[in-house]
Structure 1
Amino acid sequence: MCGRFSVVDKIAPIVSNLFNTPFKVMTNSNCSPSQFAATITTAQSGYQQINAAWGIKPNWSKKLIINAQSETVETKPTFKQAFQHQRCLVPCNGWYEWRTEEGKKVKYLFEHADQMPLYMPGILFKHEITELVTLTTTPNTKCGEYHKRMPVFILPEHTEHWFNSNSKQVAPLLEHVSDEMINICKAD
């Protein structure tokens, strides 16, 4: 997955309704690493919004880490604890990939075929500021034509399971979504 996704404020009422909590977001059609992203996480009384900086930079890393592979997130020392205890969802309306066509890089927007919000699973790291890493997986056939990885998405009907199950029990949720769920179009 490339390091860009899009959030539009019109998804806020849908997200607020799904999680029964106020969700406020400003439109950012080009959310990039180190910028803040609105997330949903659990709270004692249900769910809450936490804004987190996208990416972590462990002492051993020379660059910002924005994604964790869903296949190894449960076992990698960098992610294991956060995956067990600090899961979140990042509501968005899509993400971007670039593909070289006729010698030029062409930008594509990947979004829900029904224009609904997509819920990227992530893990939070609470330091001076809260930081976020999103999860990726092998792509479905359609997305695989553009990139070798794609974001994982949690379907609305699986959000309770994502937040309330142990790390082994959520493993089946960490696969790619169907080709039919994603619409791809050239972006400006």
Structure 2
Amino acid sequence: MCGRINVIDDPLCQLVSDVLGINFATESNPDLCPSQKVATIIQPGQFQQLNADWGLNTHWQSSLLINARAEQVASKPTFKDAFVHSRCLVPCSGWYEWKSVTTDNKAQKQKYLFSHSDNEPFYMAGILFNPESPQLVTLTTQARDHCNDYHHRMPVLIPKEEISAWFDTPSHQLNELMHNATTTTIKVAKVA
């Protein structure tokens, strides 16, 4: 589901700056939680950094809405306008999932870090709300390959070669990009 993000500023900031041609700057937060500020990339003509709160406050839900299913984002009233007009990316070092394990006959949740096998940044797809006080929802898709061993959902990861396509392609043509990202570059490590 992606309820925690790993952001390590070095080398993330330099790698993102090099790819996008901007000065991307963020503070390290190895366990970024919903409701905290997260650095995003937007493209109103050119790439820019925008800091947003992770999670959307809604009048019908008591908890923050932090994720949206990619397969529903174009049709759900809550998301469709933001999906058309306010897409963003969240550069990060990785994300966390928890898996139920049994140790010494006790059920526990084990935390796992998902990161890039080449130590490259991930670019998580997201949508923004409330321009005056930006709020972010990340997009998820059906987990594939080894990621499915830990959780049935995973973030939509946009390859760095497709960043411009994420912003420039009409929303009704983004289905393939959102659902066909490779998972071969993802490594999984147990967190103590």
SS at match of 1:43: coil
What's 1:181 paired with? 185
8 Å CA contact 1:150–1:176 kept in 2: the answer is no
Distance in 1 between residues matched to 2:3 and 2:183, nearest whole Å: 21
Deviation sequence 1:25-74 (CA, Å, 0-9, x none): 11000011000100000133x11000000000111112110000000100
Contact 2:99 2:150 in 1 (8 A): yes
CA distance in 2, matches of 1:80, 1:177: 21
Runs of 4+ in 1 over 6 A off after TM superposition: none
d(CA) in 2 for partners of 1:14 and 1:148?
29
**Counterpart in 1 of 2:126?**
122
Instruction: Tell me how far apart the structure 2 counterparts of residues 85 and 179 of structure 1 sit (CA, whole Å).
Output: 28
In structure 1, the residue matched to 2:57 is 57
Q: Which segment is superposed worse, 79-88 or 35-44? A: 35-44
User: 1:15: which partner in 2?
Assistant: 16
SS of corresponding position for 1:116: coil
Is this contact kept in 1: 2:2–2:155, CA < 8 A?
A: no
Contact 1:137/1:151, CA 8 A, preserved across alignment: yes
Letter paired with 1:140: R
Considering only aligned residues, what root-mean-square deviation do their CA atoms show, in Å? 1.1
Task: Give the aligned partner of residue 34 of structure 1.
Answer: 35
* TM-score for both structures, normalised by structure 1: 0.96
Gaps of 5+ in 1: none
**Alignment check: 8 A CA contact 1:41 1:49 kept:** yes
The answer as to whether partners of 1:71 and 1:137 remain within 8 angstroms in 2 is yes
TM-score, normalised relative to structure 2? 0.94
* Candidates 145, 164, 167, aligned match of 1:160: 164
- CA distance in 2 between partners of 1:59 and 1:36 (Å): 21
Which residue in 2 is equivalent to 1:73?
Answer: 73
One-letter code aligned to 2:125: P
Q: What secondary structure, in the 3-state scheme, does the structure 1 residue paired with 2:47 have?
A: strand
> Using the alignment, how far apart are the partners of 2:180 and 2:59 within structure 1?
31
